[in-house]
Chains A and B, each alone.
Chain A
């Protein structure tokens, strides 16, 4: 049994205090300790992007971080994207464009796109392609995902201006 450490962090606006094994990955912590299973683990070596979450607003791979590294930080997972009873514009656009099939990669794409659109609210197609090039989707062939992000961008921009 490896050593344990106490951590405090905020996930989707809710704060948690937990004692965790120092070797536990952040992905496992979110999934197993906080029951936030929307974060998926596809490769466990930082290539597929399914486990992407936001750490202080920045898209990161939760399989490449340890839970202890999130101490004192603010996290967001896919569970924090929608408001109750209302999907986020990205989620709506993904459904509208059939930008998911099996849905396993979807949370990672949503959070990658969410962070990207904050930085670049009016992206070109080429910029969207590049932004999501670190996320793997095996089903859709990416084209509908790119389209969905382009569709959502102006909606998000207009909402955030309000």
Chain B
């Protein structure tokens, strides 16, 4: 393969429309006769709904419709689980509008459709809801007592329990020379893409076709749910994805609104638009990360890890969302990380609370498991007086052990096999790049009122989730090479990356290629954009389709020229005879397009230069790497300053270094912000008290340290034709772990042990006070 484009730092082709204000996001979609929707949401975390009085709202001029449960009672269904089902979870699903009980603040109760959003919001105020408030449960330990049962019919808040087990964990603990037991907690937070959710739906009653703009990430799955709820055939629903302002896991999962807005459009017979506001987004779009963990490790005194056992409690919120048990199960499934821990057991509990339901956030379960494991390893290192890097080195899976079978740690999946990697080498790169050995001297040092610390965390994470993804490549004119994707993009740069893959796969300059995406009519089948699967799955599909077109080109040229196709090659958009380049090109692409066209005698029974390919794989690829942080903590204020941060990740093979580097740095900043600043806080009544960006703090330019990102290509994946692994999450997964280790390292002289996140100033101050109390200072 001639590789002119894969690996090159091509400037993004999509940038200009975003820079000039000509991109079209969902808020910019405007249709004739369009109405606007606003959603009435529960103000109680747990309450019986006795009545919803809508007459006054309906009487407001400009209000077209008010929809309540009765309207949709026969027209909807429970929002199903898309992935990670566990027996029991199916009893906790959500109906798009609450029937007689609300279970979290923000749960949709009614929809107003009006001439403008202003009028729609006026009408929300005019709806009278009579509630009977019930006690709320907001943490898993309280919920497990079942004194308040959120879904009464099920009799318990423990929605599901599952144990994963490999090896013989009892034996490992019997043989251990050293054990340590700890409890950790990861805080509830969420992705907060800068563009909130939004939908526009339009129903063409004459044709019986429904078009929905704005549903992104997994449009084919969402189309299936909507079709089943509305009793439509799938091909009469068209999902269109406009430009999208960030995803990070939260966007595009089937939410109640994904039914309510299309339903409203059908009901009123006019297009309906709904744009979520930020308060709604914080209240009623997926939350993530909240996991409690009790964990115990068994080791030899030389630091060799023998086994680990854990209990994980996932705070699922009030309803099981489309991700099922993903967050707690993924935390469990990768808890052993890059280490040889062959005896492992973990009991996962999915626990319901009166909070927003949970879904994924960039690196779901990986950020969590990395924090738990790497924090614990630092405690082990401290106890056994081994350098943290040395402890990790001693336990890493070795290159000659690859592919390495971890075992059955994910229910419903095949045994986890780490596909490729040179873990010790990546660690060496990190140690060298960070200057770890020199920086070690600052550990625990008190300088100018601040304690300094160094933190290290190693991660490995699944990416490129299967089972398939598709692409269609077609050439209709020499300057019209089209790549059609099933997957969408939320800002990752697909229009550039996939053009690069096509250009190399086909042998055509990138300028001729356009990538089309965001329409469910382009391809019959697709899964979506998540789990760092775009480059791995869709990239491979583009490559396969492009190669098929290349073969077709050679077949047609061969038949026309009377030269065997093995003697021909296609590159730079021209057909050449191998070994006879001196003769010049035999055919250009314009000629081949004509020769391959319908009614041409040379098309070999298959007119046109087009191919659809699906890349199928049930095996994940596993990128891996290390984060290192140097922090300074002010013990008086509890403020944590990140002085230096390094991300090292091996992703097998880089398609576009500019984009990969952007993902690594952007991911790191997202994670650093999430680890220090962000938290969704509910009070004891189940009221979310962080419902604006003044309470829920996102990192800004002043919070960002110097970040270095090093991307390695030492271990291409053997599982796909490009050798790539997903590159979107490595920047974030180890941020919690590395920073927590750095803070613990800094505050070692004060006796502080970090066991929970976030690393907010109030928490750090609290730990310092607590440690001082224990010391009797």
Contacts and interface: CB of A to CB of B under 8 A. Distances in A.
Interface of A: 1-2, 21, 23-24, 31-32, 36-45, 47-48, 50, 77-79, 81-82, 87, 91, 94-96, 98, 100-107, 110, 128-130, 132-146
A103 to B, nearest CB: 3
A101 B194 contact: no
B645 to A, nearest CB: 10
B580 interface: no
Contacts of A91: 16, 19-20
Contacts of B248: 138
Contacts of A41: 27, 275
Interface stretch (B51-59, B428-436, B697-705): B697-705
B11 A95 contact: yes
Nearest to B694: A47
Given A98-B662, A105-B194, A136-B693, A110 B700 contact: no
A5 B659 CA distance: 47
B492 A101 contact: yes
How extensive is the interface on chain B, given as a class? Answer: 35 or more
Interface of B: 11-12, 14-25, 27-28, 30, 61-62, 118-119, 191-196, 243-246, 248, 275, 277-278, 490-493, 658-659, 661-662, 665-670, 692-694, 698-702, 704, 707
B118 A24 contact: yes
B246 A104 contact: yes
A31 B27 contact: yes
B427 to A, nearest CB: 24
A101 B491 contact: yes
A143 to B, nearest CB: 6
Contacts of A1: 61-62, 119
Most buried by A among B11, B18, B670: B18
Contacts of A94: 15, 19
Contacts of A101: 246, 491-493, 662, 666
Among A31, A47, A132, the one with the most B-chain Cβ atoms within 10 Å of its Cβ is A47
Contacts of B701: 128-130, 132-133, 135, 142, 145-146
Contacts of A44: 277-278
Given A98-B661, A137-B194, A141-B704, A107 B21 contact: yes
Given A31-B28, A79-B21, A129 B702 contact: yes
Q: Give the interface centre of B16, B19, B248, B700 by most chain A CB atoms within 10 Å.
A: B19
A78 B243 CA distance: 17
A128 B483 CA distance: 39
B666 A103 contact: no
Nearest to A2: B118
Given A43-B278, A87-B16, A98-B662, A143 B25 contact: no
B19 A102 contact: no
Nearest to B706: A143
Contact of B246 (A102, A129, A143): A102
Contacts of B692: 43, 45, 47
B704 A130 contact: no
Contacts of A134: 700
26 contacts: A1-B61, A1-B62, A37-B28, A40-B25, A41-B275, A42-B196, A48-B194, A79-B22, A81-B21, A98-B661, A100-B19, A101-B492, A103-B17, A103-B18, A103-B23, A105-B245, A106-B18, A133-B701, A138-B193, A140-B666, A141-B665, A142-B699, A142-B700, A142-B704, A143-B665, A143-B707
A42 B194 contact: yes
A48 B195 CA distance: 10
Contacts of B19: 78, 82, 87, 91, 94-95, 100, 103, 106, 110
Contacts of B27: 31, 37, 40-41
A152 B118 CA distance: 40
A141 B668 contact: yes
Contacts of A102: 18, 193-195, 243-246, 490-491
B154 to A, nearest CB: 37
Contacts of B668: 141
Contacts of B30: 32
B194 A37 contact: no
A54 B91 CA distance: 53
A45 B692 CA distance: 8
Contacts of B244: 102
B13 to A, nearest CB: 10
Contacts of A77: 21
Contacts of A145: 701
A81 B20 CA distance: 7
B196 A138 contact: no
Give me the 5 closest cross-chain CB pairs, A-B, nearest first: A38-B21, A102-B491, A103-B18, A104-B245, A141-B669
A45 B493 contact: no
A58 B344 CA distance: 60
Nearest to A23: B118
Contacts of A107: 21
A3 B581 CA distance: 76
Contacts of B278: 42-45, 48
A100 B658 CA distance: 11
Contact of B15 (A21, A47, A100): A100
Contacts of B15: 94-95, 100, 103
Nearest to A146: B701
Nearest to B18: A103
A152 B565 CA distance: 51
A48 to B, nearest CB: 6
Nearest to A45: B692
A2 B475 CA distance: 55
Contacts of A48: 194, 278, 693
Nearest to A144: B662
A37 B243 CA distance: 12
B717 to A, nearest CB: 24
A98 B10 CA distance: 10
Given A47-B692, A47-B694, A130 B702 contact: yes
A156 to B, nearest CB: 15
A138 B662 contact: no
Given A102-B195, A133-B700, A37 B21 contact: yes
A82 B17 CA distance: 11
B630 to A, nearest CB: 17
A41 B492 CA distance: 21
Contacts of B246: 101-102, 104, 138-139
A144 B665 contact: yes
A42 B23 CA distance: 15
B195 A40 contact: yes
A144 B277 CA distance: 28
A141 B670 contact: yes
Contacts of B491: 101-104, 139
Contacts of B704: 129, 141-143
B702 A139 contact: no
Nearest to B696: A47
A39 B193 CA distance: 16
Which of A48, A50, A102, A140 has the most chain B CB atoms closer than 10 A to its own CB?
A102
Contacts of A103: 14-15, 17-19, 23, 243, 245, 491
Contacts of B493: 101
B19 to A, nearest CB: 4
Contacts of A40: 25, 27, 194-195, 245
Contacts of B698: 136, 138
Contacts of A132: 700-701
Contact of A38 (B22, B700, B707): B22
Residue with the highest number of chain B CB atoms closer than 10 Å, among A38, A48, A110: A38
Contacts of A110: 19
Given A82-B20, A141-B669, A98 B194 contact: no
Nearest to B489: A102
